[in-house]
Amino acid sequence: MVVIPQDSYYKDSSHLPLEERQKINFDHPDAIDWKLLCQQIRELKQGKTVEQPVYSYITCSRSKTETVTVEPAEVIIVEGILIFTCKELRDQMNIKIFVDADSDDRLMRIIVRDMEERGRTIEMAIDHYQETVKPMHLQFIEPSKRYADIIIPEGGHNKVAIDVITTTVEEALRRLQKKKK
């Protein structure tokens, strides 16, 4: 199994001054290099190894020298809040799962992340949430859950749903292994 994070595929903006890079709306689908992400998912499904980009939140750009080598696997999990906004990517998925989190939980995670990882004050984190995260969630993420085959409430703390998905994936892997024998 491999996990492909959508966040590794933010478009490279190293050609812009840092001040401009820091103003990019990373919660908008236009921030993602969908062409590269879709291509690499296709290649992994074809049994090819890919070089996944490395994105830095500090510099708001892709590394020019570093990638992550990703080997093909029977199960490819693509994770990210915007993944269902891209039809080409959705069409490559066998199972589409939307993990639905309460808005209060999303706000708290953003505050903690922005303060710990991005050096923002609580006021800056709340402003960022109100000005960018929440509007983008309402415009793109919430509507995209209609494409999900399964919606998991409680933001990933739903043990029953996680057990059902785990069992489904394990059964699919067993079937694949039997076919190969």
**In the CATH scheme, what is the code of domain 1-94?**
3.40.50.300
Confidence at residue 126, expressed as pLDDT on a 0 to 100 scale: 92
User: How many CB atoms sit inside 10 A of residue 163's CB?
Assistant: 10
Cβ 70 vs Cβ 4: under 8 Å: yes
Cβ 110 vs Cβ 128: under 8 Å: yes
Question: In this structure, which CATH number among 3.40.50.720, 1.10.600.10, 3.40.50.300, 1.10.357.10 belongs to the domain 96-181?
Answer: 3.40.50.300
What are the extents of the domains in the chain?
Answer: 1-94, 96-181
Q: Which two tokens stand for residue 175?
A: 């079937």
pLDDT digits over 93-138, tens only?
Answer: 999 999 998 889 889 999 998 898 888 899 999 998 999 999 999 9
Report the percentage of the chain scoring pLDDT > 90: 62
Identical fold for domains 1-94 and 96-181, yes or no, is: yes
pTM of the full structure: 0.88
pLDDT digits over 42-71, tens only?
Answer: 999 999 999 999 998 778 889 889 999 999
Say which residue, 142 or 23, is predicted with more confidence.
142
